[in-house]
Structure 1
Amino acid sequence: MASDEVRAVLRTDYAGSGLGEEQLAATPFQQISRWVEEARARQEEQGDVPEPDALSVATVDEDGPDVRTVLMRFLDPRGPGFVTNLQSTKGRQLAGNPRIAASLTWPSMFRAVRFRGTAELVDRAEVETYFQQRPWGSRVSAWASDQSQPAGGREQLEATYAEYAARFPDHGRPEDVPVPEHWGAVRVRADQVEFWAGRINRLHDRLVLARVGDGDLDDAASWAVTRLQP
């Protein structure tokens, strides 16, 4: 590229519907649920939200911040949650420092929800209930993958999977594959939730709900709203 050549920049005007204070649901949980359901419905109808439950999760360790995308598998007034190998990198990072940030982002809808708070382990009974609902192959993978550890190659992964598939054959029953001890789930107990809605001319809406009480995400009295500059 010539030194005087300017690379073209792709620009998109965020023609979203925005989010005014008068449109905000009574509680953070109600607003989160509304947007999640609308994202799921849009995927079914238009197909441009390919993974509505994709959740970016940020942790921190002695080397600094670390981020990855997982799938939100739990959502209730206690907060969003995801499943993981508890001995994985993120599992070890959260064991050392439970502070966590996460976000749901739907670019085609010009919307995002940001969470900041503390990670908590999901009760084992809830983990087992969810695990039994996973497809058989996904349950086997939970045993076969030593998540975040170096792999000797694709063939090694496939061979290990085959070993556990033989150990836990598919008979079509939830109990065919037990829950590994190292496998669990993490919930984000939020202290702050931000609703971001893209608007034209970059005058986006940013409504932040900060914790002012001990209630959950569905307790209106525990949250105060502030509008931030875009």
Structure 2
Amino acid sequence: MLFLLFRLISHCRLPMASCRRFIDIGANLTDKVFRGCYRGRSLHADDFDAILNRAFDIGSYSDACEAIKLSRTDERLFTTVGCHPTRCIEMDVDPSEYVQQMETLINDNQRKVVAVGECGLDYDREFYCPRDIQRKHFKFQLQLASRVRLPLFLHCRAAHEDLLSALKQVQAEAFHDQPIRGVVHTFDGTWSQAEQFLEMGLYLGVNGCSLKTEDQLAVRAIVLLY
């Protein structure tokens, strides 16, 4: 699963709290809708360049290869490399080879790959991939992140306790109890779970999926407190 990152904050010499901004960390720029194609039909002209210009003005293995190629077209574009939990069936054919391919891709493109992901657990959509397979390959990708020393772009749906457990286990085993860097994308858990992620040093990504229930609306306070 591919996510391109906008580098919107740079050369900031103010204290960290003063430098924080809302940024789009999951732009999905290889989606064909950005080229005017919706469900196989071309509905308008390709306006990709205009989209990029607006984004810069305001502040997924095959997918990853495509993303890296795209990122090379503009110095402001960066990408992540990883396997989305709903796609982990792909890894199950030959896990070692799959992970090695990802690691090689990362090492060969160090100036463009800024995180491992999108990886994690998705128990809402087990019809794509059973949770036991998801957990197995999530651990492999956590270990990959520790080797290449990159942050994590984390996905979590209805699996926060298992995700926290996996992170804590690998933090002790592979990260040698050093902080795990990264962001939990589309966070939709409880306030208590949010606190645990934040205490680990992780960031939380919030969007519409994070604000569907009354309980989730408490997430709004996170923006103010952190």
Structure 1 and Structure 2 fold alike (TM over 0.5)? no
TM-score w.r.t. length of structure 2: 0.27
Q: Which has the higher contact order (CA 8 A, sep 6+)?
A: 1
Query: Which of the two has greater strand per residue?
Result: 1
TM-score w.r.t. length of structure 1: 0.27
